[in-house]
Amino acid sequence: MQIATYAWLIALIPLMGAILLGLLGKKVNGKSAAAIGSASVLASFVLALLIFFSINSSTQKSFDIHLFNWIHSGSLSVPFNFLLDPLSSIMLLVITGVGFLIHVYSYGYMKDDEGIQRFFAYLNLFIFFMLLLVLGDNYAVMFTGWEGVGLCSYLLIGFWFKNTNYNNAAKKAFIMNRIGDLGFILGVFLIYNTFGSISYDKVFAAAAGFSSGSSIMVAITLLLFVGAMGKSAQIPLYTWLPDAMAGPTPVSALIHAATMVTAGVYMIARSNVLYVLAPFTLSVITLIGVCTALFAATIALTQNDIKKVLAYSTVSQLGFMFAALGAGAFASGVFHLVTHAFFKALLFLAAGSVIHAMSGEQDIRRMGGLRKLLPITYPVFLIGTIAISGIPPFAGFFSKDEILAHVYACSPILYVLLMVASVLTSFYMFRLLFLTFFGNYRGTKEHMHHMHESPSVMTIPLMVLALLSVLGGFIGLPEAWGANHWLNGFLAPVFEQSSGRVNALELSHTTELTLMAFALAGAFIGLAIAYSKYIAKNQVPAEDNNQPEGLYQLSYNKYYVDELYDKVIVKPLHKISESAIAFLEKNVISRSVDSFGRITLNGSRLSRNLQTGYIGFYIFFMVMAILLILLFNRI
Amino acid sequence: MNALLILSALGIFALLTDILGLKKILFPASIVALIGAMVASGLEWGHHTSYFNGMMCTDNTAILYTELLLFAGLMWFLICGSSIREHQTEHYAILSFALAGAVVMVTFSNLVMLFLGIEILSISMYIMAGSQKDKYSSNEAALKYFLMGSFSTGFLLFGIALIYGCTGSFFTSGIAAAIQQPMTLPHGMLLAGVLLILTSLVFKIAGFPFHFWAPDVYQGAPDTITAFMASVVKIAATAAFFRLFSMAFGSMVQEWSFTLCLIAIGSMMIGNMGAVLQDNLKRMLAFSSVAHAGYMLIAIITLNKFSEAALLFYITAYTLATLASFAIIIRVGQENGNGDVSSLAGLGKRNPLAAATMTIAMLSLAGIPPLSGFFAKYFLFNAALQENYTWLVLAAVAGTLISVYYYFRVIHSMLILKGSEEKISNSPIQIIVMLVLSALLILLGIMPDLLLSRIGS
């Protein structure tokens, strides 16, 4: 495959873009910066397409491309290699494709920001690290990308760094990710310790020799999953993602919905060979996935910030993906990752378009009736809502349905919980849609005066994403319909080794179709409740100082998890830190460090005082030294 | 050997230029002669020839040190050549002879040649230290250097005599062969000879407790001569030390290594600590050179297959950084002359290239990666650890930590302190010298194999 030899360019071009933009800085205007940034991602996208088509048509499904020897020390040898296979090529398409659309959109969104050059430099750098993450053929390269995207996420959440709250959100994201990253790197160490290598092919080949459920496998997979919890915002490490909405909206779409947060899903799908050997870990993943899906959905019910609703929705949808992975349905997890990338990027960008139109207002209680005023944003938002709610034939239906079926096969109880989450999803998304676009306008006159549909540089990406949200599901038509599930077939080589170890979906087609009917009914129930509340009865969520009591209050305040973390972890840590400063720092560290300085100074004075300048003294000293040396050696 | 002939010819030619009226071509002629000597010396690579009835031997190590000496000499002429106005011919002649002496010191295979080399080099240096005749400090430096130098020469001769008395040979190979049959030798006499030679060589490389001359002489002598001492003299003395002790006394390393360990630790401690409180740049560098002598002694103590390469690498890195820093000291000294660290204040604005070069040199001397000084220390410590000298390495690391303070003080002064705003210009030659030296300091840090691969072959 000729094109594989150019795979390094896919990653290099965005890096060059980032370096160029970083070095040029304000020497280029916003338009050129946007052009450089978008063109570099477009070039990568074209290459990714070429690679995708040649993998699709080739009989060989996996290409390992050696770039250079990276780390060589003792028995550890880490090459800088790229792995091209169905999984990475799908990820490449999502990252560069959705990434390119968001780059284009960003120009319209950030046009008047004075830091636009910096913005595009960060975005390109992010794309580079994300590509590294999915392209590496070993855990070290993946970890490099993993840390890099974390850095870019931090930089972009705190992009408007003059606002202290935004900086705090950036720090929170970074620190919570560090907790996950620690788990991930420990997992990688354990892999090296167990298998003597961290290259996927060697590790997976060696893993075949381990029995299912061995404790070392459980340890490795759990540690890696801790990394995924941090990056992909699962319970208990999810609280950073809603706060990450402090960043510009395109960032939320690209990093905190479509790509980076799905890195955990990719990592587990990539390590499927290890995970199927640890049934315990798989159960944990399903459980956490389902809990996160439900928990985040209940929070989303009462939020009034348009981006916060979408953020909790993202956490919830990531929960769906993990539920699939835990059920051993790796392909379904990846399928939902792809469709979610389409419709969630669409929803975020459409929300950005609304915020743009409302001059920065994000509270849906101040919106309403925007349907006619935003003739393009409204239909695309509607498409996104239908897609995420799981109404056929839009993308979300197929992928979500697959996940529900797999979880049902695993455990009917978890299925019910996930079904509830699915109904809630439909409700809160239509609630968001109705409150934003229907009813009467509730905002200020000032905002009304500036109201305008976004420029075409923003709406065209929206339309492309809307198209993908409509059609994206067709890459995985259900086999119960007698259709051919293309994505499963395409990804099959990646999951070949593990396919024998997980139970294949053994539901009869009738059961599957029944489950589908349930899912559809659930989506419509959610829609109906939202309709009756917000259109028929024309309700508007209460103001902050007038909130209903009870469960509503609990959900509105996000179950007080942030406050809990603050009390249980942050405050005690502060206390320890303060006492460490008071005692350790002042008495122990300062004193010992100072005493080293004092010893040096005294030695220095001694050395200087010996240097009397009197030659007689010098020679006397020399003679004494020689005598001492001779005596000492017993001569 | 070719280098020796060319250098001697250059010295004689320099003496004649006054009479022949060729003073104008003296500088270019010296540069050409030095480059020619480097080429001619390189031609001898791999031949391993003996001269003067086997009293000198141009083995590969000797050629590498000769090349290093000639390179240092070339850089010295480029840095200082134009600033020597008075007694130009004498300067050129004497320094050419000094270089010839240094070449003898790294090529000898007979104690007599070693003695001759040391004396040719030392006597030239006594004269040059006092070359600013109208300055009190220069005269003082010359007298101190001469008195203490001749004192240590006495010990050297005494030691050689004892060795000859025991072994009946002046040849390094003969001495080594005689030591192999220890029962026939009066042991105390032999060890006394070795120790006396050791002390006098420690004096030449300015190691504790025979370092007292260094700070006074470095500070008192003219800047240009100090630069020569800190580079050429240091290379020659250290190389001769290693050559003699590995070739002749290697088999009795157990008996002298502990003494040398104490000397090395003392040098590192006294040198590094002494430098901390110095305000005068040259005096600070003198103490720093005492410390570096201590580091280099580690290679002589270790004496394994790694240490020869490690020592060559260390001396090269040290010489490059020292020459670079003296290039800047001399340039700044021409503008305002007190020679204190504070005289560098604001250099970052006044002459960015010089400040950058000085920064690289100081970072390399302190052993900060990726500069060559880091790998120099790394290879040296690695060689010592192979022989289980853990505590010696610990002492060296402690010394290095201290050294960071005074090297960074220079950088701090150049880049952060505010000084005069007046620009200092560079001549084309100075620009070339600074660029070449900084490039080499970085290059050898990134690709140490460029040099290391030579020594194994």
- DSSP letter for each residue of B84-96: --TTHHHHHHHHH
- Name residues of chain B where pLDDT drops below 70: 182-183, 337, 456-457
Lowest mean pLDDT among A137-151, A167-181, A490-504, B323-337: A490-504
* Cα separation, A94 vs A101, whole angstroms: 11
CA distance B405 to chain A (A): 10
pLDDT at A452: 85
Cβ of B259 and A629 within 8 Å?
yes
Cβ of B155 and A621 within 8 Å?
no
Instruction: Examine the pLDDT at A544 and tell me if it is beyond 80.
Output: no
CA distance B270 to chain A (A): 6
pLDDT at A503: 63
Domain membership flag for residue B457: no
pLDDT at B457: 47
Residue A2 has what DSSP assignment?
Answer: G
Identify all chain A residues contacting B213, using CB atoms and an 8 Å cutoff: 618
Cβ of A611 and B215 within 8 Å?
yes
Residue A589 has what DSSP assignment?
Answer: I
CA distance A612 to chain B (A): 9
- Candidates A623, A627, A605; CA nearest to A615 is A623
What predicted TM-score, i.e. pTM, was given to this entire model?
0.72
Answer for the pair B109, B79: CB distance below 8 angstroms, yes or no.
Answer: no
pLDDT band with cut points at 50, 70 and 90 for residue A504: low
Calculate mean pLDDT across residues A525-539.
Answer: 88
- The values of phi and psi at residue B54, to 5°, are 80, 15
The residues with which A68 forms a beta bridge, in sequence order, are A80
Domain membership flag for residue B265: yes
* Cα separation, A270 vs A72, whole angstroms: 24
Instruction: Examine the pLDDT at A284 and tell me if it is beyond 90.
Output: yes
Helix (H, G, I), strand (E, B) or coil at A432: helix
The residues with which A72 forms a beta bridge, in sequence order, are A77
Identify all chain A residues contacting B195, using CB atoms and an 8 Å cutoff: 629-630, 633, 635
Cβ of A611 and B274 within 8 Å?
yes
Instruction: Examine the pLDDT at A424 and tell me if it is beyond 90.
Output: yes
> Across the interface, which of B147, B195, B287 has its CB nearest the CB of A615?
B147
Identify all chain B residues contacting A614, using CB atoms and an 8 Å cutoff: none
CA distance to A125, A178, A562, per residue, from A172 (Å): 21, 10, 11
pLDDT tens sequence across B386-437? 888 999 999 999 999 999 999 999 999 999 888 887 888 888 899 999 999 9
Residue B280, chain A, CB below 8 Å: the answer is no
pLDDT band with cut points at 50, 70 and 90 for residue A251: very high
Token pair recorded at residue B381: 């410590």
* Cα separation, A603 vs B399, whole angstroms: 12
pLDDT tens sequence across A356-368? 888 888 888 888 8
Indicate which of B194, B253, B273 best probes the interface with A, i.e. most A CBs within 10 Å of its own CB: B273
Cβ of B195 and A635 within 8 Å?
yes
The residues with which A84 forms a beta bridge, in sequence order, are A63
Helix (H) or strand (E) holding A45: helix A30-57
* Cα separation, B142 vs B218, whole angstroms: 10
Cβ of A622 and B210 within 8 Å?
yes
Cβ of A625 and B210 within 8 Å?
yes
Chain A residues within 8 angstroms (CB to CB) of chain B: 600-601, 603-608, 610-611, 613, 615, 618-619, 621-622, 625-626, 629-630, 632-635
**Number of Cβ pairs closer than 8 Å across A and B?**
73
Domain membership flag for residue B163: yes
pLDDT band with cut points at 50, 70 and 90 for residue A558: confident
Residue of B nearest to A629 (CA): B259
- Domains held by chain B: number: 1
- Candidates A388, A410, A382; CA nearest to A400 is A388
Residue A199 has what DSSP assignment?
Answer: B
- Candidates A298, A307, A540, A299; CA nearest to A435 is A540
Identify all chain A residues contacting B210, using CB atoms and an 8 Å cutoff: 622, 625
- The values of phi and psi at residue A167, to 5°, are -60, -40
Helix (H) or strand (E) holding A542: none
- B330-342 as b/e, with b when 16 or more CB fall inside 10 Å? bbbbeeeeebbbe
DSSP string, A340-399: HHHHHHHHHHHHHHHHHHTTT--BGGG----TTT-TTHHHHHHHHHHHHHT-TTSHHHHH
Range of the domain at B44: 2-452
Q: Where are the domains of chain A?
A: 1-137, 562-634
Instruction: Examine the pLDDT at A549 and tell me if it is beyond 80.
Output: no
Which residues numbered 393-422 in B keep a CB inside 8 Å of some CB on A?
Answer: 402, 405
Helix (H, G, I), strand (E, B) or coil at B110: strand
CA distance B258 to chain A (A): 10
- Per the model's pLDDT, the better-predicted residue between A171 and A608 turns out to be A171
pLDDT band with cut points at 50, 70 and 90 for residue A582: confident
Instruction: Please calculate the CA angle B337-B340-B346 and round it to the nearest 5 degrees.
Output: 90
CA distance B299 to chain A (A): 20
- The values of phi and psi at residue A77, to 5°, are -135, 115
Report the Cα A430 to chain-centroid distance in Å: 25
**ipTM of this complex:** 0.89
Residue B261, chain A, CB below 8 Å: the answer is no
Segment A1-5 long-range contacts (CB within 8 Å, at least 24 positions apart): A1/A54, A1/A55, A1/A58, A1/A60, A1/A63, A1/A84, A2/A54, A3/A47, A3/A50, A3/A51, A3/A54, A4/A51, A4/A54, A4/A63, A4/A65, A4/A84, A5/A65
Answer for the pair B302, B296: CB distance below 8 angstroms, yes or no.
Answer: no
> Across the interface, which of A607, A626, A635 has its CB nearest the CB of B188?
A635
Instruction: Please calculate the CA angle A478-A497-A486 and round it to the nearest 5 degrees.
Output: 25
- Candidates A332, A598, A343; CA nearest to A491 is A332
* Cα separation, A199 vs A82, whole angstroms: 11
Token pair recorded at residue B281: 């740049």
Cβ of A611 and B216 within 8 Å?
yes
**What percent of chain A clears pLDDT 90, i.e. is strictly above it?**
50
pLDDT at A74: 67
Instruction: Examine the pLDDT at A545 and tell me if it is beyond 80.
Output: no
* Cα separation, A316 vs A420, whole angstroms: 12
pLDDT tens sequence across A269-279? 999 999 999 98
Token pair recorded at residue A545: 């100082």
pLDDT band with cut points at 50, 70 and 90 for residue A72: confident
> Across the interface, which of B203, B212, B269 has its CB nearest the CB of A603?
B269
pLDDT at A231: 92
How many beta carbons lie within 10 A of that of residue B24, not counting itself?
A: 9
